[in-house]
Amino acid sequence: MIGQRSSWMYALLLTLWLVSLNVLASNKINGVRVWPAPENTRVVFDLSKKPDYSYFSLSSPNRLVIDFKNSANAVELSKLAKNDKRILKIRTSKAKHKGATRVVMELAQSYQTTIFPLAPAGQYGNRLVVDLYDKKSLEKRTVRVESKKKRDIVIAIVAGHGGEDPGSIGPRGTYEKHVTLNISKKLAKLINSKKGLSAKLIRTGDYYINHNRKTQLARKYKADLLISIHADAFTSPQPRGASVLVQDPRRANSEFAKWIANRQKESELLGGAGDTIRKTKDKNLALTLADMKKEHTMASSYDFAEQAVKELKKVTRMHKKRPEGLSLAVLKSSDIPSVLIETGFISNPSEERNLNSDKHQQKLAKAILTAVHNYFMDAPPAGTLYASTGYKKHRVAKGESLSVLAQRYKVSVGQLKSANNLSSNTVRIGQTLKIPRA
């Protein structure tokens, strides 16, 4: 009886302690996902709020230590890495600061580590991503990339509707298919004039292309981004403004399930890991690799959509002030980040006039070009001219210093000072810094 009472009291005290931790902590680790791949392992921490974190590495034995400030952990960590060859164990340890959660990854060896936060996108909330790359694979990849000429970033542009499908028709008889083609051609011309970028028009004339063919052509051109141009419409003339749409997570998951079920045939839809996905007999590995690719594509689509909204609102009224997720066939690709831009309401008489104006079409095209340029300056694909030149931008947050940023972006403090004309090591919260390419 006494033993039962002691056990009950212990359980009660433990529960009260955990509850008090959750009350004190302003952030919470709600989930941890471990995704092994042939050349790297990705670990994603799902958090209730934006992570405030710091990290460091230890050797003999190899460990990666992450401190989540003012956070509580709600995840059982002990079995998370049982199928991964790089992570031996994930556990918690005593944090240096009160109220923090310290997560320790015990590693099989030393890896090239990249750690970065991701803002909410689509079905996902705040995340902290940890990438562990095999150093030998990185060396081989670097040699291979450097030996080739730096390629252009390819943008596939889809002019909505066409041929027997006129799209929406304005009060003055304007066909959406003509407006979308005119804007698409202007955008392609601007993109092709920008060094390091190349545009591929999916539709170059007044004819119809079905949605599956649009994504097939984008894949044939090895597109890094697909932009579909449309004009909105409604049953009344009042609604107006532009919108930027991304794929709804439910539609993306539905398409994803089809690809996995038929992975032998559809592996080319799943990017660089497609061959491994097709050949492996391990269904869990196939699912993990494919899901990793899908999540990256959806997050990239949303990130570009935010850039597009930011630039479009400078030249036109916005109907939706944030990217919106809808179930759209043209955005279903799991390997190419894709967005659909509604350039305005053709059913609104004032916007119909604007959409027919060469000057307004050019403004829209320039805004989209700026969004493309800014997005790829921040996230250039490997092997591209953008990846070897220019700068990233970083807004200094609380607790960050030049040395912290130098470690995170793998550049020297001297390079940061030189790029930003700094005479001292002091930076202020909210200051925007240029980060040279590593």
Per-residue model confidence as pLDDT tens digits over 182-227: 999 999 999 999 999 999 999 988 878 878 788 888 988 999 999 9
The answer to whether 133 touches 41, Cβ cutoff 8 Å, is no
- Rounded Cα distance, 130 and 80, in Å: 14
pLDDT above 90 coverage of the chain, percent:
39
Mean pLDDT over residues 304-328, rounded?
A: 89
Q: Is residue 415 predicted with pLDDT exceeding 90? A: no
Stretch among 7-11, 189-193, 278-282 having the lowest mean pLDDT: 278-282
The superfamily CATH assigns to domain 153-378 is Zn-dependent exopeptidases (3.40.630.40)
Give me the residues paired with residue 325 across strands.
Answer: 246
Q: Is residue 174 predicted with pLDDT exceeding 60? A: yes
The average confidence (pLDDT) of the chain is: 81
The answer to whether 230 touches 176, Cβ cutoff 8 Å, is yes
pLDDT at 24 (0 to 100) = 54
Q: How many CB atoms lie within 10 A of CB 357?
A: 12
pLDDT at 350 (0 to 100) = 95
Tokens at 38, concatenated? 């042939």
User: Largest Cα–Cα distance in the chain?
Assistant: 87
Q: Is residue 259 predicted with pLDDT exceeding 80? A: no
Extents of the domains making up the chain: 25-136, 153-378, 391-436
pLDDT at 290 (0 to 100) = 56
Q: What are the contacts of 205-212 at 24+ separation with CB within 8 A?
A: 205/162, 205/181, 206/162, 206/163, 206/177, 206/178, 206/181, 207/162, 207/163, 208/161, 208/162, 208/163, 208/164, 208/165, 209/162, 211/329, 211/330, 211/332, 212/329
Its pTM stands at: 0.57
Q: Is residue 308 predicted with pLDDT exceeding 50? A: yes
Q: How far is C-alpha 360 from the chain's CA centre?
A: 30
315 membership: H or E segment, kind and range: none
Residue where the block lists tokens 């990793």: 292
Q: Is residue 146 predicted with pLDDT exceeding 80? A: no
Topology given in CATH for the domain delimited by 25-136: Immunoglobulin-like (2.60.40)
More confident residue, 59 or 437: 59
Mean pLDDT over residues 128-136, rounded?
A: 84
pLDDT at 229 (0 to 100) = 95
pLDDT at 265 (0 to 100) = 42
Highest mean pLDDT among 31-35, 37-41, 266-270 belongs to 31-35
Q: How many CB atoms lie within 10 A of CB 85?
A: 11
CATH architecture of 391-436: Roll (3.10)
pLDDT at 366 (0 to 100) = 97
The answer to whether 336 touches 225, Cβ cutoff 8 Å, is yes
Angle at alpha carbon of residue 64, lines to 107 and 285, rounded to 5°: 50
pLDDT at 40 (0 to 100) = 74
Instruction: Reduce the DSSP state of residue 87 to 3 states and report it.
Output: strand
- Rounded Cα distance, 411 and 115, in Å: 15
pLDDT at 252 (0 to 100) = 45
Buried b (16+ CB within 10 A) or exposed e, 177-192: bbbbbbbbbbbbebbe
